[in-house]
Chain A
Amino acid sequence: MVHLTAEEKSLVSSMWGKVNVDEVGGEALGRLLIVYPWTQRFFDSFGNLSTPDAVMSNAKVKAHGKKVLNSFSNGLKNLDNLKGTFAKLSELHCDKLHVDPENFKLLGNVLVCVLARHFGREFTPLAQAAYQKVVAGVANALAHKYH
């Protein structure tokens, strides 16, 4: 369970309202694949991921990033029940996709870096702390059904 204070909830949702979820999704996933290239192991079918430019302009990366972040967005509306919200996705990532949950933490932290770039000084230590709680909660929820 994530425990956000009222102030943190308000920070998270007001900032998220200003985020272009589709774009940020592509950027976050792209950066994950570039900064931690071993994560590319899950995306053999995506085509050319050989350079940062190739990754960032890859249509499949953008599409998948969009999907992932829209799902995350959904989680933000259900902070009181992340485990329930992501139960099915958790099973999928374990049983079908075979993704090490460590990758959820990596993506969460890359997302925090992307938000910091987008918001600049507005991404205060308090805002970061709130988002760190959220990404940790989502990562835990996605790992919850692993067996």
Chain B
Amino acid sequence: MSLTKAERTIILSMWGKISTQADAIGTEALERLFASFPQTKTYFPHFELRAGSAHLRAHGAKVVAALGDAVRSLDDVAGALSRLSELHAYILRVDPVNFKLLSHCLLVTLASHFPADLTADAHVAWDKFLSLVSCVLTEKYR
């Protein structure tokens, strides 16, 4: 599944808005992840995970920054995220199911911040893009 031209346009144009609140969006997506799917907290025993914590904010910012890297290289997401892909494969080894959970929480965050922008077409585009990112991050697992 690859992104059509129209889908890339949607992602790029929404990214403009998202990037102005990037850190808040990343943080909120993680808060949603840990609230709805508490098992995901097992990957962060070293973090203080309460809402608003410095750890959460820093990590949320990191996650969205990586998405930004992917958005800026929609023609070569695998290339843009190659190092992150290795990190997840060899060091972090997060079970692949969790990428779906975080992707869903990112989508919900976007829906709540930008309801008018998340049209059905945009919903498809973002779901596909986040699936693509998840795929890239797990492609070196075995």
Contact = CB atoms under 8 A, between A and B. Distances in A.
| A joins B in a complex | yes
Interface in A109-141: 109, 112-114, 116-121, 123, 125-126, 128-129, 132
B32 interface: yes
B112 A120 contact: yes
B108 A128 contact: yes
Interface string A85-121: 0000000000000000000000001001110111111
Contact of B120 (A30, A112, A123, A132): A30
The size class of the interface chain A forms with chain B is: 20 to 34
B121 A125 contact: no
A120 B112 CA distance: 4
Interface in B92-122: 104-105, 107-109, 111-113, 115, 118-121
A35 interface: yes
Q: Summarize A's interface: helix, strand, loop or mixed.
A: helix
A69 to B, nearest CB: 17
Contacts of A35: 120, 123-124, 127
B130 to A, nearest CB: 12
Given A34-B124, A112-B108, A123-B108, A118 B115 contact: yes
A128 B104 CA distance: 11
A56 interface: yes
A66 interface: no
B138 to A, nearest CB: 19
Interface of B: 28, 31-32, 35-37, 51, 104-105, 107-109, 111-113, 115, 118-121, 123-124, 127
Interface of A: 30-31, 34-35, 52, 55-56, 109, 112-114, 116-121, 123, 125-126, 128-129, 132
